[in-house]
Structure formats: structure tokens, C-alpha cells
Amino acid sequence: MQLHLAPIPAAAEAFVLAGGASSRFGSPKSHAILAGQPLIVHALHRIRAVGLSARIAGVHPSTASAPLASHAPVIADVHPGRGPLSGIHAALSVSASAWNLFIPIDLPLLPPALLDCLLRRAALTHAPVTGLRVNGLLQPFPVVVHRSLLPQVTAALTGSASCFRLWQSFSALDAPRVEVLLQSGQIPADILPPALWFRSVNTPDDLAFVRHGLALRAASLTLKA
């Protein structure tokens, strides 16, 4: 039986974090082609599939942003070089919404239904941070962050905290297990196991693996049609 969930909060914004150095990939990951489209397009599509517009955050000020800006508005880092936290800081600094969804550019196997569930859960629980666990392990992304946490994010930038450590520091963190969400019908079943949804694209070999995963998912959908 599918559980009743709160509606997606109207006051919600969404951001793709695209500020990584792509050192292991060898070229900017945002422009890497997967299934005929760059990774940035895949990330934006997942956000738009849940009814939200999207912006791109975490871009180093010295980086030529024109290629990214052709896909969505770009927000440059205020504190470049501090990893995803600097992108989250920049996004929360300009957000006009209480709830803010963040996804990285390199998780193209995330199903949009998972993001939809995350947003609805944040509206239901009002937790300051809403994340996910897979096999019992907290995942840093995707995550919904309340705008009121901007001071804590700013303070973390001056220390050595990572997103993972910062989320864990909040006693009110809400991070359900993805397996439980599947079993309870809050997200639909997928041919790919949940652990693969979080397979990031860090190397060309990762991209090849993800390409195979997308092909399997597409084939499964074709058979069900």
C-alpha cells in the first residue's frame, strides 16, 4: 500500500552542484556525454521531472561558465575551492525559498521519484536536513537543506567540515533508508538496485558503467510498456 505523502513544498528551489575539479575524469565532467546528452543535462532533467526549475551552483569564478549557462542560470562560488559546501553556501545565499534541493552533477542514475520523495518528506517532517541512507550508510547527496542553515554552512567553510560531517552534526537530521522507502511503496521499484543509484561518475570507466545501467533501465521500461 502506498503511503500518503505531503505535497512538494511550493517554496522549494533546486540546484545542481557542478564545481568539482574533475581531476580523475581528465576533462570537465559536466560536458561528458551520456546517452547523447552532457551530464549537466541529465542532472537538470531530474530536477525538472519533479516540477522544479534549476540553477547550477558551485562554479569557480575563474571558470568559463558560458557552456553551463546555456543550460541553466549559474551561481558562482563565493568561497571557491572548498568543495560542495561552497556551492551550497552560494546557493543558500541567493535562494528565496525555505527548502533547497541539491544534487551533484555526477549521479545520473538517481531516479527522479527519489528526489520527489525527498522533497515531500522535507515538507512533512520539517527537518533542517533531509538526506538518505543506503545499506545503512548516510549519503551526502541528494539532500534537502533548509535556508536557515546558511550560518552553519558558512561556519563550516572556515573549518574542515565536509557535507557528510555537517549533515551528521544535526540531531534533527532526517535520513530514511532507501530500502525502506522502496518496501513501503514511497518510491517505485527500479531494475537497478538502490546502491547503483548512487554510483558517481569520477572516471571514464565509471561513465561506461553508468551507460550500461541506463541501457538496462531503458530496456526494462520498454518491456513494461
pLDDT at residue 8, rounded to an integer: 61
Could you tell me if residue 1 is inside a domain? no
CA 86 to chain centre: 15
pLDDT at residue 137, rounded to an integer: 94
- With residue 11 as reference, give the H or E element that holds it: none
Give the count of domains, the chain: 1
Could you tell me if residue 152 is inside a domain? yes
Could you tell me if residue 132 is inside a domain? yes
CATH of the domain at 23: 3.90.550.10
Task: For the beta carbon of residue 26, count every other beta carbon within 10 angstroms.
Answer: 10
For cell 535520513, the residue is: 175
Q: Which residues contact 84 (CB under 8 A, 6 or more apart)?
A: 17, 19, 58, 102, 104, 140, 141, 163
Identify which of 64, 63, 43 has the alpha carbon closest to the alpha carbon of residue 54.
43
Q: Does the reported pTM lie above 0.95? A: no
Helices (H) and strands (E) in the chain, counts: 9, 8
Which domain range does residue 113 map to? 12-224
Please provide residue 189's backbone torsions phi and psi, each rounded to the nearest 5 degrees.
Answer: -65, 155
DSSP string, 128-177: SEEEEEETTEEEEEEEEEEGGGHHHHHHHHTTT--HHHHHHT-TT-B--B
pLDDT at residue 23, rounded to an integer: 56
Could you tell me if residue 4 is inside a domain? no
Phi/psi zone of residue 40: left (φ > 0), alpha (ψ -120 to 50 degrees), beta?
alpha
Q: Give the Å distances, CA to CA, from 128 to 26, 123, 161.
A: 36, 10, 17
In which residue ranges of the chain is pLDDT below 70?
1-10, 19-27, 62-66, 225
Identify which of 86, 41, 36, 38 has the alpha carbon closest to the alpha carbon of residue 60.
86
Q: Give the Å distances, CA to CA, from 169 to 5, 128, 161, 162, 173.
A: 27, 11, 10, 11, 8
Could you tell me if residue 7 is inside a domain? no
Could you tell me if residue 33 is inside a domain? yes
Strand 33-34 vs strand 37-38: parallel, antiparallel, or unpaired? antiparallel
Residues in the chain, total: 225
Q: Which residues contact 187 (CB under 8 A, 6 or more apart)?
A: 111, 113, 114, 116, 117, 178, 181
Could you tell me if residue 2 is inside a domain? no
Examine residue 142 and say whether the peptide bond preceding it is cis (omega within 30 degrees of 0). Answer: yes
